[in-house]
A and B are shown apart, each in its own frame.
Chain A
């Protein structure tokens, strides 16, 4: 089954809101046109009646019509804006839920790939940009086309040529303008999607590495490079701005030509006595009013390409197949959770040299084993293999007596507790972050758990206590506190196997000792693999394994 996001089906889900918005949009346009057209009719008829050229005129009906149009115009515009915004926000709500649930189907390596670079930020922005699709493109386009078609029909009742040459001109030339400005805008838009992130990463590196640059007196060179890239970006946006101006001027020109044709043809038909003077006034002002519906379209459609690439990017996300095959008939989670690594060779990329070569390792159920060694020697890949986020090239990884490839991936996720090297905390309250592991935990339990790893003072200092909001990437939390909060979160869950990747990094001696004490307690009865480059402070363990060359020496 195709997992593509279908914009149409998403749009349909809020069909009621969408249609209400569209209806109000058209109503306000019709009221605007009606106001002008009726006024034109009324003034012309009044002038003729005043001169005695036509018989007495009923002034109440048109007067009431004009007032009604004025009020309708005001109210429907207000209502339209409220309803379309409401519809858009609901649509975005659906879209976020959709993206989240689709991504939850992918395996860990794929998600890790997402985290590289700015893919995730772009995805977040992509969802937000899609609000433009309905608000700026679909609604106004449908309204403009429908109204122009309505005008063709109504003017066709008066004279087919008048209908074709006025509203018809709008219906032919405006889409032409819209599609060609959109086509012309595609190349610079495309270039901009590359140029802007490049500028961002260049300036990020420049600001991070200011001292590197200053130490070597390269600052002004680098500033020049950034300026060149900035000129590239600004120039692309200038071209897009100019294109928008051009599109708008062309749509205006088309409207003006339609107006002129309406006047000329109207005068000709009037001269042949096929229409009355008030109708002539009505036609000219109606065509003038029709123009309003088309003016916002060129820019809206030019921005549509941004929406499309957003949809495409979201689509590619959901299309990728799972990297690791799921077992067709997964085996039950083993009773005894020993870990055995059996002659495993592993490399990340086919062209790279192996990170692990012919590695053997045995951890009995309930044992704690510490793996130490310098960076780049495959300590972390060991963790990935046990959790089956990657598969070995040769050899087997067994939990109990079962190959992890035959276990249910969801069991592997839920029964193995993992503290990654860079744990993720969410922008949310401290309590909500902790309750991720145990939604039932009460405040007392959370407080106790924090105190046990030495975060008692930290909690006491927080202005809102457990309800304090944790900021972006823990801006109000230090690296060590962050790691300990993630550890507390893990310790609120009840896994059979525990893997801790550098649990003591960025902890000072006292905090590290508190953490080890808390761990001693919690790790009892669980099988644990602790990865650490520091060996001075460790919780009580059964063995230390040092990985120096590409195999383990005990």
Chain B
């Protein structure tokens, strides 16, 4: 079963309507005192988690909303927000 995602505006849709927007890495770092190492860390470095991760998606073939979901990368299914440990 291919990926389905729940857009906050359009509801549950086929995953191919969306563009993956990267892992959730927090807000963009402040430009004051920003080093190349910190920028590289923010832009490119990924946790590559085998499990539930929070990530961004863009509804490219739909409403154009940017939103976050929790998805389990070992099953490729969207999940509910996990209980905080």
Co-assembled chains A and B = no
B residues touching A (Cβ–Cβ < 8 Å)? Answer: none
A residues touching B (Cβ–Cβ < 8 Å)? Answer: none
